[in-house]
Amino acid sequence: MTRLEFEGVSIDIASTRIVSEVSLRVKPGEMVGLVGPNGSGKSTLLRSAYRVLRPSGGAALIDGENVWSLTAREVARRRALVTQHTVLGAEFSVREVVAMGRTPRKGMIERDGERDHQVVEQALDDVHMRWAARRSFSTLSGGEQQRVLIARALAQEAGLLILDEPTNHLDVRAQFEVLDLLRQLGRTTLTALHDLDHAVSYCDRVAVMAEGRLVTVGVPAEVLTPELVHDVFGVRAVLDTHPITGRPRIAVASVARC
Ligand code: ADP
Ligand code: MG
- Say whether pLDDT at 53 is over 80: yes
- Give the number of C-alpha atoms closer than 13 A to the C-alpha of residue 102, restricted to the C-beta side: 23
- Supply the residue whose CA is at minimum distance from atom 7 of ligand 1: 43
Question: Residues 169-190: pLDDT tens digits?
Answer: 888 988 998 899 999 989 999 9
Output the pLDDT for position 85: 62
- Say whether pLDDT at 245 is over 70: yes
- Supply the residue whose CA is at minimum distance from atom 6 of ligand 1: 41
Strand 160-164, strand 79-82: pairing: parallel
CB 130: neighbour CB atoms within 10 A?
17
Output the pLDDT for position 31: 98
CB 123: neighbour CB atoms within 10 A?
25
Distance from residue 41's CA to the centre of ligand 2 (Å): 7
Distance from residue 195's CA to the centre of ligand 2 (Å): 13
Output the pLDDT for position 149: 93
Residue of 27 and 106 predicted with greater confidence: 27
- Supply the residue whose CA is at minimum distance from atom 21 of ligand 1: 13
User: Which whole number is the average pLDDT over 201-208?
Assistant: 97
| Distance in angstroms (rounded) separating the CA atoms of residues 51 and 54 | 7
CB 219: neighbour CB atoms within 10 A?
13
Contact status, residue 207 vs residue 33, Cβ threshold 8 Å? yes
What pTM does this model have?
Answer: 0.93
Question: Residues 67-97: pLDDT tens digits?
Answer: 999 999 999 989 999 987 666 767 899 999 9
Distance from residue 43's CA to the centre of ligand 2 (Å): 4
Output the pLDDT for position 171: 87
Mark 51-61 as b/e (b = at least 16 C-beta within 10 Å): bebebeebbbb
Output the pLDDT for position 256: 84
| Ligand closest to CA 40 | 1
Distance from residue 5's CA to the centre of ligand 1 (Å): 21
User: Which whole number is the average pLDDT over 237-252?
Assistant: 94
Q: To test the ligand 1 pocket, which listed residue (18, 35, 84) has its Cβ within 8 A of the most ligand atoms?
A: 18
Count of residues making up the chain:
258
- Say whether pLDDT at 20 is over 80: yes
Distance from residue 45's CA to the centre of ligand 2 (Å): 9
| Distance in angstroms (rounded) separating the CA atoms of residues 195 and 200 | 9
Q: Which atom of ligand 1 is nearest to the CA of 192?
A: 2
- Supply the residue whose CA is at minimum distance from atom 13 of ligand 1: 39
DSSP-based three-state secondary structure for 38? coil
**Which amino acids bring their CB within 6 angstroms of ligand 1?**
13-14, 18, 36, 38-44
| Distance in angstroms (rounded) separating the CA atoms of residues 236 and 214 | 21
| Ligand closest to CA 42 | 1
Q: Amino acid letter at 103?
A: T
Output the pLDDT for position 32: 98
Structural fold of domain 30-41+83-257: Rossmann fold (3.40.50)
Task: Tell me what the pLDDT averaged over the chain comes to.
Answer: 92
Residue of 193 and 258 predicted with greater confidence: 193
User: Which whole number is the average pLDDT over 4-30?
Assistant: 97
Contacts of 107 (CB under 8 A, 6+ apart): none
- Say whether pLDDT at 107 is over 90: no
- Supply the residue whose CA is at minimum distance from atom 27 of ligand 1: 13
Output the pLDDT for position 131: 96
At residue 23, φ and ψ (nearest 5 deg) are: -120, 125
Work out the pLDDT band at 60, boundaries 50, 70, 90.
Answer: very high
Output the pLDDT for position 108: 64
Q: Which atom of ligand 1 is nearest to the CA of 44?
A: 6
- Say whether pLDDT at 142 is over 90: no
At residue 123, φ and ψ (nearest 5 deg) are: -65, -40
Output the pLDDT for position 153: 92
- Say whether pLDDT at 52 is over 90: no
Distance of CA 176 to the CA centre of its chain: 14
Q: How far apart are the first and last CA of the chain?
A: 46
Closest CA to 248 of 211, 221, 208, 225: 221
